[in-house]
C-alpha cells in the first residue's frame, strides 16, 4: 500500500492489475517509464485467480480422472476410486499461489508502484484511490470483466457463476449449465469427468457458437459420445430453487432439474461507476470504444483487455498492454490484428482456432478453398486415442486465412497456426516445412500438403 508521502505523479497510471494492466506496467517500466499500477483485488486479475488458470487446473485433474478410468483399455491396471474435491482445490490453489508470487516478484523487481485499492477516473490524467489522487501523463484503463447474468436471473444459493463453481468443495451429482460458450463447455467437461450428470442449455443453434460450424458440430458429436447432454436453440425462461435443487424452464416449456445451475452466459465489461463517461469517454453497452491504436480519443487515456470490444481473452489483453506501453514510449508498434488472435477451448476434446471461420472468409473473399485432415491418419493421435480433425480455410488461390482444430491437445498446435495466418502464408509455403514424427504437429503439416495438392496420408 502506498503511504501518504509516496509519489503520486507518474508517467503512466494504470487502473487494473489483470493481464492487460500488468503487461503494460512491466513493459512500460522496462522502457524507463515511471508506473503506478492500481488494483483493488489481486495482481493477475480474473485470469490468474478466477478464470483461465484455475479452470485449466481443474481440466487437468479431469483429464487424469479420465485416464485412470480408461487405463485398463491400454493394459494399465489402474482404477478411479473417486474425486477428493478439497484436494483438487488445494492443487489448483497451489498453482495459482506459485504464479501469483512469481508475478508479485516480477512487478516489484521492475520498480512498478503497486497501489492496493479501488480506483476511479476523476480527470483526464487523474485517478483517485481511497482519497489519494494519482496523476499520470498517460492513463491506461484495464478494469477487466465480471460474470454476467440474464435480466431477472438472480445469482445466489444453488444458482452460481464460474467464480463460485471454482470454489466448490464437492462434485455436484447433477448440474445444468446455462451457456454453451467456452466457460460452459469447459465446466461441462470437468464435471462430467468428475462423475456428474451434466446438461448444457444454449439459446443459439450450436455449442461454442463463435467457432467454425464444423468444430461446433464435432464438439457436439464428442459430447453426445461422452454422455454430456445439451439443449440448443432454446432460451432460458425461469429458475426455481429449493433445498433439494433447481428447476429450470425454457421458453419452449421444457423443464430440467439438477443440484445446481451454473450461469455461464459470458462476461461483461467492468466499467460502471468508474468515472469513465464523466470524462467524455464513449461507452457502448458497457464497453470502452477505442480506435485501432487503443486510444479512447479523450486526452492521453487508453483502454486494453476485456473492456475493449472483441475477444475477451487474457493473451489479447496481455498483448494490448505491451502494445500501448510501446506506443506511449514512441516505438510505433504495428496495431494488433484481432482476427489473428488464437482461441482455445480446453474441453475434452480441445477446440483451437485462429483467423477466419469458413463463413466469415466467404463473406470477405467470396471464393474459398477448405480442407479437413482427419486425425485418424496421425500416429500420435492414434496413440492418444483422440479423434478430430484440422480444417484449413484459404482465400481461393490466396493465403490461408483460418486454421480450425478439434482433438486432444490441439491447443498446443495453435502457435504455428497463428504464424501461418499472421504471415499470410500460402499452402505451398508451409507444405515443405518438416514436422517431427510422431507428433500431432505432423497433422498440421499433412493438412498443408493436402491443401497444396499433394496429400500423402489422405485419399485424393
How far is 99 from 294, CA to CA, in rounded Å? 28
Distance between CA 400 and CA 370 in Å, rounded? 9
**Is 182 among the annotated ligand-binding positions?**
yes
Q: Which residues of 141-174 are buried (b: 16+ CB within 10 A; e: fewer)?
A: bbbbbbbbbeeebeeeebbbbbebbbebeebbeb
Residue 50 exposure: Cα atoms within 13 Å on the Cβ side: 16
Q: Per-residue pLDDT for the chain (460 aa), expressed as one digit of tens each?
A: 444 446 799 999 999 999 999 999 999 999 999 999 999 999 999 999 999 999 999 999 999 999 999 999 999 999 999 999 999 999 999 999 999 999 999 999 999 999 999 999 999 999 999 999 999 999 999 999 999 999 989 999 999 999 999 999 999 999 999 999 999 999 999 999 999 999 999 999 999 999 999 999 999 999 999 999 999 999 999 999 999 999 999 999 999 999 999 999 999 999 999 999 999 999 999 999 999 999 999 999 999 999 999 999 999 999 999 999 999 999 999 999 999 999 999 999 999 999 999 999 999 999 999 999 999 999 999 999 999 999 999 999 999 999 999 999 999 999 999 999 999 999 999 999 999 999 999 999 999 999 998 877 665 4
Among 140, 210, 154, 148, residue whose Cα is nearest residue 182 = 210
CATH code at 159-265: 3.50.50.60
Closest of 455, 414, 454, 190 to residue 313, by C-alpha: 414
The response to whether 51 counts as a known ligand-binding position is no
Interatomic CA distance for residues 444 and 420, integer angstroms = 11
Residue 321 marked as a ligand binder:
no
183 is in an annotated binding site: yes
**Dihedral of the alpha carbons of 287, 288, 292, 298, in degrees to the nearest 10:** 170
The answer to whether 216 is a known ligand-binding residue is no
Q: What is the helix (H) or strand (E) element at residue 174, kind and residue range? A: strand 174-178
**Separation between Cα atoms, residue 441 and residue 438, nearest integer Å:** 8
pLDDT at 194: 98
Does the annotation place 305 within a ligand binding site?
no
Please tell me the distance from the alpha carbon of residue 35 to that of residue 24, in angstroms, as a whole number.
Answer: 9
Judging by beta carbons within 10 Å of its beta carbon (0-12, 13-18, 19+), is residue 412 exposed, middle or buried? middle
Which CATH number does the domain 9-147+269-338 belong to among 3.50.50.60, 3.40.50.2300, 3.10.20.30, 2.40.50.140? 3.50.50.60
pTM for this one?
A: 0.95
Instruction: Kindly write down the DSSP assignment for every residue of 262-279, as one continuous string.
Output: EE-S-EEE--TTSSTGGG
Q: Mind telling me the catalytic residues?
A: 437
Closest by CA position to 19, among listed 273, 272, 312, 355: 312
Alpha-carbon distance 403 to 415, whole Å? Answer: 11
Question: Is 133 marked as binding a ligand?
Answer: no
The CATH-assigned architecture of domain 349-451 is 2-Layer Sandwich (3.30)
The answer on whether 143 is annotated among ligand-binding residues is: yes
Q: Is the dihedral of CA 429, 431, 432, 433 positive or negative?
A: positive
Q: How far apart are CA 20 and CA 7, in angstroms?
A: 23
Beta strands in 79-123 (DSSP E): 113-116, 119-123
Residue 203 marked ligand-binding: no
Domain ranges of the chain: 9-147+269-338, 159-265, 349-451
Q: Burial, 372: exposed, middle or buried (Cβ in 10 Å; 0-12, 13-18, 19+)?
A: middle
Is residue 187 classed exposed, middle or buried when 0-12, 13-18 and 19+ CB atoms within 10 A define those classes?
A: buried
Q: Is 145 labeled as ligand-binding? A: yes
Known binding residue 152? Answer is: no
The separation between CA 403 and the C-alpha centre of its own chain, rounded to angstroms, equals: 17
Question: φ, ψ for residue 238 (rounded to 5)?
Answer: -145, 160
Instruction: Classify residue 225 by burial, with Cβ atoms within 10 Å: 0-12, 13-18, 19+.
Output: exposed
* Domain 159-265 in the same topology as domain 9-147+269-338: yes
Amino acid at each position: 500500500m502506498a503511504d501518504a508521502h509516496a509519489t503520486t505523479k507518474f508517467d503512466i497510471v494504470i487502473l487494473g492489475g489483470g493481464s492487460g494492466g500488468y503487461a503494460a506496467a512491466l513493459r512500460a517500466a522496462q522502457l524507463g517509464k515511471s508506473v503506478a499500477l492500481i488494483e483493488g483485488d489481486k495482481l493477475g486479475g480474473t485470469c490468474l485467480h478466477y478464470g483461465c488458470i484455475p479452470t485449466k487446473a481443474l481440466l487437468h485433474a479431469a483429464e487424469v480422472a479420465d485416464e485412470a478410468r480408461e487405463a485398463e483399455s491400454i493394459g494399465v491396471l489402474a482404477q478411479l476410486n473417486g474425486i477428493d474435491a478439497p484436494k483438487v482445490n488445494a492443487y489448483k490453489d497451489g498453482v495459482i499461489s506459485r504464479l501469483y508470487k512469481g508475478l508479485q516478484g516480477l512487478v516489484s523487481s521492475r520498480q512498478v508502484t503497486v497501489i492496493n485499492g479501488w480506483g476511479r477516473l476523476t480527470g483526464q490524467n487523474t485517478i483517485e484511490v481511497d482519497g489519494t489522487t494519482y496523476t499520470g501523463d498517460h492513463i491506461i484503463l484495464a478494469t477487466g470483466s465480471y460474470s454476467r447474468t440474464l435480466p431477472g436471473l438472480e445469482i445466489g444459493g444453488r444458482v452460481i457463476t464460474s467464480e463460485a463453481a471454482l470454489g466448490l468443495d464437492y462434485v455436484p451429482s447433477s448440474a445444468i449449465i446455462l451457456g454453451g460458450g467456452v466457460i460452459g463447455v469447459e465446466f461441462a467437461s470437468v464435471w462430467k469427468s468428475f462423475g456428474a450428470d451434466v446438461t448444457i442449455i444454449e439459446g443459439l443453434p450450436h455449442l461454442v457458437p463463435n467457432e467454425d460450424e464444423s468444430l461446433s458440430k464435432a464438439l457436439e458429436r464428442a459430447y453426445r459420445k461422452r454422455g454430456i447432454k445439451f439443449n440448443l436453440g432454446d432460451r432460458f425462461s425461469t429458475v426455481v430453487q429449493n433445498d433439494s435443487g433447481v428447476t429450470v424452464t425454457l421458453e419452449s416449456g421444457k423443464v430440467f432439474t439438477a443440484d445446481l445451475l451454473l450461469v455461464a452466459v459470458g462476461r461483461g465489461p467492468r466499467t460502471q461507476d468508474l468515472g469513465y463517461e464523466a470524462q467524455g469517454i464513449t461507452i457502448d453497452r458497457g464497453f470502452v470504444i477505442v480506435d485501432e491504436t487503443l486510444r479512447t480519443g479523450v486526452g492521453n487515456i487508453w483502454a486494453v483487455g476485456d473492456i475493449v470490444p472483441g475477444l475477451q481473452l487474457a493473451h489479447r489483453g496481455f498483448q494490448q498492454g505491451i502494445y500501448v506501453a510501446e506506443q506511449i514510449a514512441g516505438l510505433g508498434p504495428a496495431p494488433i490484428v484481432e482476427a489473428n488472435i488464437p482461441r482455445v477451448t480446453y474441453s475434452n476434446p480441445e477446440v483451437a482456432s485462429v483467423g477466419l471461420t469458413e463463413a466469415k472468409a466467404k463473406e470477405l473473399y467470396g471464393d474459398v478453398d477448405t480442407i479437413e485432415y482427419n486425425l485418424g491418419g496421425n500416429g500420435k493421435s492414434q496413440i492418444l486415442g483422440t479423434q478430430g480433425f484440422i480444417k484449413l480455410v484459404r482465400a481461393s488461390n490466396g493465403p490461408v486465412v483460418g486454421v480450425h482444430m478439434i482433438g486432444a491437445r490441439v491447443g498446443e498446435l495453435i502457435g504455428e497456426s497463428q504464424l501461418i495466418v499472421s504471415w499470410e502464408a500460402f499452402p505451398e509455403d508451409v507444405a515443405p516445412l518438416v514436422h517431427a514424427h510422431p507428433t500431432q504437429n505432423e497433422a498440421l503439416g499433412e493438412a498443408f500438403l493436402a491443401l497444396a495438392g499433394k496429400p500423402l496420408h489422405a485419399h485424393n
